[in-house]
Amino acid sequence: MSHPDLTSHHVNYLIWRPFSPSDYFFGPAVLEAEPRKSQGGPGENGTDQAPVSPTSKVARDSVINGHLTGEPAAPQVIPNAKKSRKSDRAETNGDEIPMEIDSNGVANETKSAVAASPSLADTAVDGDGDVSMGIRPDSQDQEPTAAPTFTLTNGHSVGVQITPAKAADLSPDTALLNVADDCHVTRTLWRPNDSTVVVAVGETFCSLWKMPSSASPVQEKLVEGKGDSICVSAVAWDPTGQKLAVATYNDMRGSITMYDVAGNAVDLLPEVPRMITGLHWTESGTHLIVVASDSKVSELALWDDSVRPDEFPSPQVIDGSIYDLSWLGRNEAYASGNGTVYQCEVDSSIHISKTFTSETDRPWTFIRCANVNVSSVAVAASSAAAAFWIPTHDMHLDGAHEGDITAIELKPNTLDQPQANHPLVLASSSTDDTVKIWHIDLDTKRFDCIHRLFLGPSSPALASSFSPDGYALAAASKEKLFIWNSQRGGTAMATWSVPGTDGTKIEEGQSRLANGHNGDAESIPDRSLAWDTDGKRLAFGFGKQLAIINMQS
């Protein structure tokens, strides 16, 4: 039997004629959008996902970018899930925190400014790298939320791939510097607007490293405390990069030396009878707030390059310790202490204009500030209590993490959009192995956790930092560096591992200093992260070494 030739008319008909699911002899039937609560057993596909083990290959392969693939993941018990340090406490109101689904299909937690934190013991890691949050049975009576729109009408849906399937390895673009002999690195900082000069700081040393592209790195030792009791307590570049202020502590007295970019001492400030725990330059670089503190008394002193030392204004004396300070504009600063945040006005001197007192006398270890819609916002965090407090707007949140908070940072705002269009975004890292990214709604007084990024089992997040443009978020554990897209979260874009790490050798000499003060908390190793001004280089301090990671090779 002869067959007619296949013409273009036949081809067009086959391509453009309407198809129905019955025309296919392979693949599953049409997927119907399901409500958020699964209507069947654990083997059925739905937008609720049973907690899965972070190390389970089946679980990782079956959930991509927050959406289910063709083969559902079987529920598994997490063998190494940490017990919540607050799990033995009853919830304050007995209610669970409602969850929302973001654009990536990742569950978000929304918390009132005064709500108690839900236990993280029920959490697991989804295939996108975020920590998913299991919904307890007593909260299942909430209104069901529609599932995210599937990207395919037939077959299985894997979602829009906006995050890499595998993190890039930064090892080929990384150079290692041996910066210390006996001590370990506690802080790193780049010279402003110069990606060839970086400073490495330890408890007994401070070195300036010059790294021209056409030559080997050159070290200039500024402080080297071998065989004596000199301690480097604080370091800060002025915003122009012309002066590096280095504070040292010796014989119960603190002093500050100014260095130029060549490593020459150009100025020496008067000594103070206590340790200098903070050096904070104003954005213009004309003024420097010096924080000198001990367990009983603290001083806030204002240094001005144009004023003679014998004409310096009297310092602002405060009872108790000052743990952190943050500028806000040219004439305002906020300082945090025990149960207190101080609003300070700065002109020819510095003085307290307002005092905020928290409900508990906990130490507010960190403080960061921002202007939001012409409103001053100060965000404080208590490390040991894992709590946030915004005294300027009467907001607080307990149980933000299940471990100590190790760092907080407000996301920088880009210049391509007006300030009013930017939400207040906060990143917090913790010893509970996670970094969280929060949206803070000042009008409704709510903290919304939009991403919970998991570093791995027994991998506390010891440091974190936004890139200057806010695009990337870097975090460091004992043995690894992670870089995420700060808006998408999910899978890390890139990682770097400490070479030959055994988890013990590089921790020798670790201290118990907490934000410049002696503490009784469990000793953890120091890790430091610093982006250069352009966000093209990242300095990662660990042990006695400094890794210089080139983001653009």
What is the C-alpha separation between 346 and 349, in angstroms, rounded? 6
Place of tokens 């400014």: 113
List of domains in the chain: 45-75+106-135 (no CATH), 168-550 (2.130.10.10)
Cα separations (Å) of 526 from 424, 452, 460, 552?
Answer: 28, 22, 11, 27
Among 79, 83, 14, CA closest to 53: 79
pLDDT in tens, 125-164: 454 455 544 333 333 344 444 444 444 334 433 333 445 5
DSSP 8: H
Place of tokens 């043995």: 479
**Residues composing the chain:** 553
- DSSP states of 290-324 as a string? EEEE-SSEEEEEEEETTS-GGGPPPPEEEES-EEE
Cα 262 to the chain's mean position, in Å? 32
Q: What's the CA angle centered on 419, arms 417 and 425, to 5 degrees?
A: 100
The token pair at 532 is: 């250069």
pLDDT in tens, 431-440: 999 999 999 9
What is the C-alpha separation between 130 and 147, in angstroms, rounded? 18
Written in H, E and C, the secondary structure of 177-214 is EECCCCCCEEEEEECCCCCCEEEEEECCEEEEEECCCC
Tally of CA atoms within 13 A in the half-sphere of 144 that contains its CB: 13
What is the C-alpha separation between 133 and 144, in angstroms, rounded? 16
Residues of the chain with pLDDT under 70: 1-165, 227, 414-421, 501-523, 553
Pairing of strands 168-169, 494-497: parallel
Residue 133 confidence (pLDDT): 43
Residue 342 pairs in a beta bridge with: 335, 355
What is the C-alpha separation between 502 and 462, in angstroms, rounded? 17
Residue 286 confidence (pLDDT): 84
CB contact at 8 A, 279 and 255: no
Residue 517 confidence (pLDDT): 41
CB contact at 8 A, 355 and 342: yes
Residue 508 confidence (pLDDT): 44
